[in-house]
Amino acid sequence: MNPVRIPVIAVDGPSGVGKGMATRWLAARTGWHRLDSGALYRVLALAAVKAGVALGAHDEVAALASTLDIRFVGETEADEAILVNGANWTDKIRAESTGNLASQIATAPVVRAALLQRQRDFREAPGLIADGRDMGSVVFPDAVLKIFLDAKAEARAMRRHAQLSKKGASVNLDDLFVEVRARDERDRKRAIAPLVAATDAIIIDTTRMSVSQVLVQLEILLRQKQLIS
Ligand code: C5P
């Protein structure tokens, strides 16, 4: 007999689309755990830079993964911290430049393989909300609900800009737009686990939607799937 699988909701989509907001809301609404898979790629890229390992030396980068004790603490964006081997890496992990480093190592099959089981280990009762690029297509193909959030690059650059400005970072909108587009290209065109909606994913184009409109859609999906009462 198959063991009863712990349910997963997969939320995939390009950078800056609002997956963080959506998955934090879903985790709060369901009481399930949350996996920020992008943070794992970010930690590994930063660890490589710190260790003086070239990002193109994929085997060496992948080997580093097993040396990293990565812990996520806190529930909300404000009190959330990422501890790596006991040190607080939160701010460095969240930097836009780290996202770009992450997308460079994420093209390598050996790197993705090194992080695969680590992501699956987050599947704990009562359930998991998984945030990433390939959650529904590769990591959790048996997810009970697969959502693909999308939005035009211009809208995503503007959202990122507003988010970073709120945190006091001075960033140029045009530069952000160029970075968002470059990261999209790399993520969508890579040979392995490219950013693509799983065939059974529900696609929500949020370009013209407000945050509350997106949340209403998510609430409807949770109810349709009977994941909340
Ligand atoms: O989601 P986030 O912006 O933190 O991800 C950083 C980068 O890590 C992405 O641009 C992508 O290249 C990579 N990534 C990935 N697969 C995931 C999550 C992130 O390839 N599941």
State which of 125, 158, 193 marks the end of a domain: 125
pTM of the predicted protein model: 0.94
Predicted local confidence at residue 3, as pLDDT:
57
| pLDDT class of 170 with cuts at 50, 70, 90 | confident
Residue in 80, 68, 5 with CA at minimum distance from that of residue 42: 68
96 occurs within a structural domain: yes
Other beta carbons within 10 angstroms of residue 5's beta carbon come to 12
Domain end residue (candidates: 125, 156, 182): 125
* CA–CA separation, 184 and 207 (whole Å): 16
Quick check: bond before 141 cis, omega within 30? no
Contacts with 6 (C-beta within 8 Å, 6 or more apart), sequence order: 123, 124, 125, 126, 127, 128
Return the structure tokens found at 90: 């939160």
Distance between Cα 122 and ligand 1 center (Å): 17
- How far is it, in rounded angstroms, from Cα 153 to Cα 170? 20
Task: Look up the domain containing 70 and give its range.
Answer: 38-125
Domain presence at residue 228: no
Residues 23 and 81 grouped into a single domain: no
Atom of ligand 1 nearest to the CA of 132: 21
Q: What ligand 1 atom has the least distance to the C-alpha of 186?
A: 12
Q: Is the pLDDT of residue 118 over 50?
A: yes
| Claim to verify: residue 114 and residue 194 sit in the same structural domain | no
Residues 218 and 131 placed together within one structural domain of the fold: yes
**What pLDDT does 79 receive?**
87
Region of poorest pLDDT, from 19-23, 32-36, 38-42, 94-98: 94-98
Asked whether residue 204 is domain-assigned, the answer is yes
43-88 confidence digits (pLDDT tens)? 999 999 999 999 999 999 999 999 999 999 987 778 899 999 999 9
149 and 159 within one domain: yes
Of 107, 125, 143, the residue that ends a domain is: 125
37 lines ligand 1 (CB under 6 A): yes
Torsion angles phi and psi, residue 211, rounded to 5: -55, -45
pLDDT band at 1 (very low <50, low <70, confident <90, very high): very low
